[in-house]
Amino acid sequence: MTSLPAADHGTTMTKGLATLFAFCCGAIVANLYYAQPIIGLIAPDIGLSSTLASFIVSLTQIGYAIGLFFLVPLGDLLENRRLMITTTGVAILSLLGAALAQTPNLFLLASLLVGFSSVAVQILIPLAAHLAPEETRGRVVGSIMGGLLLGILLARPAASVIADHFGWRAVFGTAALVMLLISGVLATTIPRHQPAHSASYGQLLKSLWTLLSEQPVLRRRAFYQACMFATFSLFWTAAPLELARNHGLSQSQIALFALVGAIGAIAAPFAGRLADAGHTRIASLCAMLFAALSFLPSLVESPYAVIATALTGVVLDFCVQMNMVLGQRSIYALDAKSRSRLNALYMTSIFIGGAIGSVIASALYDHGGWRWIVIAGSVFPLLALLAFLKHSMSQSPSSRAPR
């Protein structure tokens, strides 16, 4: 497959356009997180047992992983704007389906499609990097990633507040309206981009397996972050249940809790600077270690239990975001011509891990309470840490690379 041209002639990546890209990314990725804090409201209303409630979050993440693997590569074959508009159209229909669903099967199918259609973000970000000139590319992508992180951070509290005042169905109805707005923005402002290519869709998918088999750094970093994201999803799926059932918090109060936990997102630029300075190894070690230790404060009993659990959220978010950025920097350095496919593989692995974490969250919580969540949440990053240490010890000091 041939590489993409440097830029579309006549298209300038202005500050305003970059801000627009950031807004679109944040709005689209938020669809993945709306259900997370309100599964306790959704499950009984649609007839889903509390043990199976976390399947709502898991299927959204599984859908995203499927989209990453099978849909995102089409960004190297099809005209990008049309592909994104089509994908957001699917998002509108699936969000409306979730808002109107009366049975578990219909809602779970809608959740799967919500995740699948949210991968438009992973088409938009490479397009922005393609349109930006070389001298400002890093700054442009950084600002767009900032918008994406903001969407992730605001989705959970927004869902809690809307559900508290208007019911959980209003969350998905509102999200569908936002996606309708995004479709209009994409259609009228995002420049067209037809990739230059010589490969078929089948050849493109086959190359993913080739990259995975030939790039051990990709496999390692994907495993580390899959474990980290599993514990992230486990925590944020179980925490709202714990806060509502055992601490009496309303959905609006849970929204404030989520905002406090979001402080951990400041790790992204911090991690980037550490990686640029050659500290990837020690920063990765610290991220995995402190993620495993982060659950200890949440064992504190009342009256400080909510504050202690919020501290767990802050530290865990910080560690997960840090390890994410360190991993991205490592894999992007492997092959410039394959960055979007490397990213697709990396993100697919992450969301598979997230799906595992969320699918076991409600079952663990129902059978063992918060202590079982603490145990499982500590085990996942410890697995990553052990794999990291095993690889580090297998290398001679002179051959160790900072990734």
Average pLDDT, 10 consecutive residues per value, the chain (403 residues): 42 78 92 91 92 86 88 81 93 97 95 95 79 67 72 87 94 97 92 75 86 92 95 91 87 83 66 71 93 90 84 89 81 74 84 88 90 95 96 67 51
Boundary-marking domain end, from 198, 229, 256: 198
Residue 210: count other Cβ atoms within 10 Å of its Cβ. 11
So what's the pLDDT on residue 268? 59
- Residues 208, 102 share a domain: no
SS3 category, 33: coil
Judge whether 5 lies within some domain.
no
The structural domain count of the chain equals 2
So what's the pLDDT on residue 4? 39
- Residues 172, 205 share a domain: no
Structural domain boundaries enclosing 209: 201-403
d(C-alpha 87, C-alpha 71), whole Å = 9
Q: Are 214 and 16 in contact (CB under 8 A)?
A: no
- Residues 227, 121 share a domain: no
- Residues 138, 35 share a domain: yes
So what's the pLDDT on residue 128? 77
So what's the pLDDT on residue 288? 96
Place of tokens 């514990």: 231
- Residues 242, 185 share a domain: no
So what's the pLDDT on residue 100? 97
d(C-alpha 159, C-alpha 171), whole Å = 6
CATH of the domain at 119: 1.20.1250.20
Instruction: Provide the whole-model pTM.
Output: 0.78
- Residues 315, 211 share a domain: yes
SS (H, E, C) 60-108: HHHHHHHHHHHCHHHHHCCCHHHHHHHHHHHHHHHHHHHHHCCCHHHHH
